[in-house]
Structure 1
């Protein structure tokens, strides 16, 4: 096992796949000589050169379109968004080209494309650098969406995304890059369409992903000391949702709490509630509760910024309230 930071795990995954397959290349702003804004591509330019680690102009629509065209020809581009918020400038290319071309070409084209980079609410990065775009992209047909949460799953998921023949939007949280974890020295690949059962339990199912996984784990440590036994599921795959794993858990616990950093209105939690209600509504002993970020642009002010996202004490209170609700009716 090697103890590794998450940005190093992502860099190692990229390096291994570039070494394994000469069709893999990286492009984006400052990915070359500078090594990427968060050093995910550090050292790759010196190893692979200009043709496989391309520094681009500040023109997201142009270089994302270039990457889609390269994917059509059989190459395997990895687009790094310096900040995922900037990829809104390439929304047309992602939705009308990346998501559609395999279908509108009658299957003649494959789009083996990865679009990855930092997102989420950071620390005083301001509204335009703290957006949560997962729900924006979830509505686009033809995309796969993955949110890594640990160095271990970051490496295994990125390698799987690079090898996939479909466009994958790969979300990394800006505050998790310095997270450390032991990673196996041997190669491993993780499935892109499976949730992770982080903790088994009987009392309540807590669904979460990305940075909120760690807030949930903190909250559950306290809840366990109080005698509760929650089950934690890290969604990982935001599109498609691993509804089978979710349903299996709900049939056991009969209570659901969703903890997300996405906006409440039309967020990932909203889609989760819809699918759970469609599938196992009569297994629920109480209405599903979702804890989501405030529906407003993230403030620059540090205290206001913290007030917009969910924290462990709110998770603890929500679990306690749900358990009380269940006891009231049963």
Structure 2
């Protein structure tokens, strides 16, 4: 009787989750499983130092969210099409194209197939998002801190694949790779420092990427996670901006964000499992973790200035 009741409640909870949420989690889970298999089959994690073991997961942590967001382009087409700038024609076409491209890029990142090509296109896509949508949004709302936060988030999402492409181009074009890695470092260091300040000023909001959501009162620790994240961001962001111990700084930010995901965003996603809000906040932050770890991968292993 007890077992039947548990199964029934689980079935009801599953049915209550909207299909668009189920599809996003399903595709993300498939990408995650594929990436884990590839990482362990390659065996690189056995020989890497501790922080570098975490860096190996950067492309996977980035790929899982873009697979989920790419799926949303097919399940929430009209809503996403509505945010495409009015002067761009064929809104629905671009929504489908970007969605398919994101899913394809996710599998490319986790399988290692055409990674330099896919990561370069991802960097270009997010840079265009910043130029075409986020910067105009900031200009329309110059006093809206969330508009600036979103623009800097997209700039960071551009920097991760740019850094990955740079790390894969070091043998063929070392000078161009160093230049791309340096640009990516600034594209992440500046948002990290801005986010540190915002989290000190607004500790009641969720940590990691300090967006609109207020940290739920029921969450253990509440504002302490935001303050701790702000301190780590400030220290590591200064190091990234100065070009000192950049690999360790990037990995430390990634580790901090991963910890925040486990103690803050996973509980929120479970509580909001029937809502896209919980999914989007979880995957946004995981993607940010991945982008910082991909930057760390592109940084020199030595502790000299970069």
> TM-score of the superposition, structure 2-length normalised?
0.29
Structure with more of its chain in strand, by fraction: 1
Highest relative contact order (Cα 8 Å, sep 6+), 1 or 2? 2
> TM-score of the superposition, structure 1-length normalised?
0.27
